[in-house]
Structure 1
Amino acid sequence: MNDFTFQCSTKIVFGRGAERCVGEETARFSKNILLHYGGGSIKRSGLYDRVMASLAGQGIHVTELGGVEPNPRLDLVYRGIELCREKNIDFILAVGGGSVIDSAKAIALGVKYPGDVWELFAETGTVGEVLPTGNILTIPASGTEAGNGTVVKNMALGLKRNVNDQKLRPQFTILNPELTLSLSPLQTACGVSDMLSHVLERYFAPEKNVEYTDRLCEATMKTIIHNGLRAVRDPGDCNARAELMWCGTVAHNDFLQTGRTPDFASHKIDHEVNAVCDCTHGASIAVLFLAWCRYVYTKHIDKFAQFAVRVFDAEMNFENPAETAREGIARLERFYHDLGLSTRLRDLGVEKSDFATIAKNCKTFAGDKVGNLEKISRDDMLDILEIAY
């Protein structure tokens, strides 16, 4: 187990009707805020009215900025930064899914930054003062509601990049599982895939003696798998929705990576897949992670066999553990199919002609590679993309 420092300062308010306390929570930080959201769904559902009433009850002045799209755009981030500077806004409230919250965090990064906020994503600048944020989550998936990162897409450059910094953790997140009851089976499935991928990226770590977090990861994955299928088959199952909402937050607030080094090679590749074809991250990460598994498992048979036995209840073949490892990967693929997701890139609009661009644009770590369980080069990426196709 590695030495570690764990800090998750985000206050979590969980429960039915929890959004009604948003005015009280926000008033602890500001009376002049930016309300950031996506399309019209929060207005059609009545959530917008409840939020505005709660904010008005605390005498909070609200400037609105809607229009966030999946794979949040840098152009809208620039607009948000300008608004905050013009109106002396010092707090951002995001109401929506992961893209809305990531967009809000990116705006918060840029308001006090003296240069172009993209410099922080390009790693040519240094994070300084960050505006505080809070959020009401409507789509459990990305885990950014209590996480320390943000991801945005630069349409002009065709790149999707992230920034991670403890200053980006929201001051509070409000989690009401009832707000997710209207999600379609596909939206639910993509969210399930996304949160599961965050646990998988931490589970397949190079450290050997991390039994406690192994067991925590396994429990979280089993809970996601069980309740993911329940929610897809019965969208009105609020108990399943509640389990998923809490799992999605814990999956990505760094608790499950204490003492270990997460991999995230699949995520790095998938960011550039999203940049090229603009597909939903939850759909494409399922494809990329399966391909990565098939590419690396032969060097880590014991861990993949453990995954098969502990997460999918496969029978251990002690004479041929590689067979057990392959069975775990096969059961993961069947789970994605049961959710209604494709496990091939060609079904998501990605072409083989895109592979070179994806690999070239992939943000690498030191040594021109990504990943920690295995160091994945750009040539490896091309092989993984070929498997995924």
Structure 2
Amino acid sequence: MLNFDYQNKTRIVFGKDTHKQIGSLIKPFTSKVLLHYGSGSIKKNGIYDDVIRSLKEQSIEFIELGGVKPNPRLSLIHEGIDLCRKEKIGFILAVGGGSVIDSAKAIAMGVPYDGDVWDFFAAGKHPDTVLPVATVLTIPATGSESSIRSVISDEKTQRKLGYGDEKIRPVVSVINPEIYFSLPDFQIACGVCDMMSHIMERYFTNTTHTDLIDGLSESTMKTIMKNGLILKRDHTNYDAWAEVAFSGTLAHNGFLNLGREQDWACHAMEHEMSAIYDVAHAAGLTVVTPAWMKYVYQTNLPMFVQFAVNVMGVEGSFRDQEWIALEGIRRLEDFYSRMEMPLSMKEIDIDSENFELMAKKATGFAFGKENKIGGLKKLTWEDVLAIYQLADR
């Protein structure tokens, strides 16, 4: 186990009707907020009205900025930064899923900064100060409600990059499983598979003696899969949503990577896919993850055997280690299929034309200096190209 230093300032308020408390929860921080949201679905399902009522009850002034899209755009973030400066706003309230929260975090970094907020994502800059952010989570998936991460896309350069900093963890996040009852099948499936990926990026490691975090990770993955399949049948199962929503937060709040080297190659590869083709992030992950596993599993065969046995329920003799590992990957693909998620580049309309470009961008080779990606196995751009080709079936 490696050394670690962990803290998490996010207050999680979980349960029925908790979103109606948001005004009183943020009142100690501010009397004026930027209310940031997505396409407007919160106005159809009543969440918007509940949030506005709660803000008004606490005499909190609000300025609205909607329009966040999946793979949140830098252009809207620039608009939010300008709006906060003009209106002298010092607090961001994000009501939405991961894209809305990531956009809010980027705005929070950009308002006090003299340069372009993209500097944090592309140029290695770090903010001295950020605006506080609170969230009402409407789509459990990314774990951004309690994480140090923000991922945004620059439409002009077709780059999708992430940034992490303790300063951008939300100060308070509300998670009400009742809100998720109206989510469509595809969003449920994307959320579930995104959570799984966040754990697997941490789980597959060469670090040894991590039994506790291994076990917690395995239990969380099994919980997600079990309850994800329940939600495919019954969108209004509160208990299943509670399990999935809490798992999504745990999957990405940093706790499950304590004491271990992480990987994140699949996310790096997928970011280049969705930057060019604007595919749903989780859909890209279900395509590239099994291909990555097939390419790297022999690097640490015991780790993939452990995954197959403890998470995917594979049984076999000690002599069948390679078969067990491959059967675990096959069962993961089967789970993705049961969730009706894609497994090939063709299913998400990505052809081989840009494979080499994406591989070189993922590793930085296209920008003059290659930085191998991944932790379990360090991948060159040629390795990434081979994985893309393996997923092109």
RMSD: 1.1
Q: Partner residue of 1:376?
A: 379
Q: Partner residue of 1:90?
A: 90
- 1:331: how far off? 0.4
CA contact 1:307–1:328 (8 Å) conserved in 2: yes
- 1:8: how far off? 1.0
Q: Give the 5 Å matches for 1:170-181.
A: 170-181=170-181
Matched residue SS, 2:224: helix
Counterpart AA for 2:35? L
Q: Give the 5 Å matches for 1:129-278.
A: 129-278=129-278
- 1:312: how far off? 1.3
Matched residue SS, 1:207: coil
Q: Give the 5 Å matches for 1:301-312.
A: 301-312=301-312
Q: Partner residue of 1:109?
A: 109
Matched residue SS, 2:93: strand
TM-score (norm 2): 0.97
CA contact 1:317–1:323 (8 Å) conserved in 2: no
The size of the alignment, in residue pairs, is: 389
- 1:236: how far off? 1.6
Q: Partner residue of 1:60?
A: 60
Q: Distance in 1 between matches of 2:18 and 2:38?
A: 20
- 1:124: how far off? 4.2
CA contact 1:207–1:260 (8 Å) conserved in 2: yes
Q: Distance in 2 between matches of 1:364 and 1:304?
A: 28
Q: Distance in 2 between matches of 1:359 and 1:383?
A: 9
Q: Partner residue of 1:69?
A: 69
Output one character per residue of 1:31-87: Cα deviation in whole Å (capped at 9) or x when no partner.
011000001210001110100000001110100000000000000000000000001
Is structure 2 residue 383 aligned with structure 1 residue 385? no
- Identity across the alignment (%): 45
Structure 2 unaligned segments of length 5 or more: list them: none
Counterpart AA for 1:372? G
Output one character per residue of 1:269-328: Cα deviation in whole Å (capped at 9) or x when no partner.
101100011000011111111111000001211110111110111103211200000010
- 1:128: how far off? 1.7
Say if 1:299 and 1:184 are closer, same or farther in 2 by CA, change over 3 A: same
Runs of 4+ deviating beyond 2 Å: 123-126, 363-367
Structure 1 unaligned segments of length 5 or more: list them: none
TM-score (norm 1): 0.98
- 1:262: how far off? 1.2
Output one character per residue of 1:203-259: Cα deviation in whole Å (capped at 9) or x when no partner.
101201100000000000000010010111211211111110000000000000011
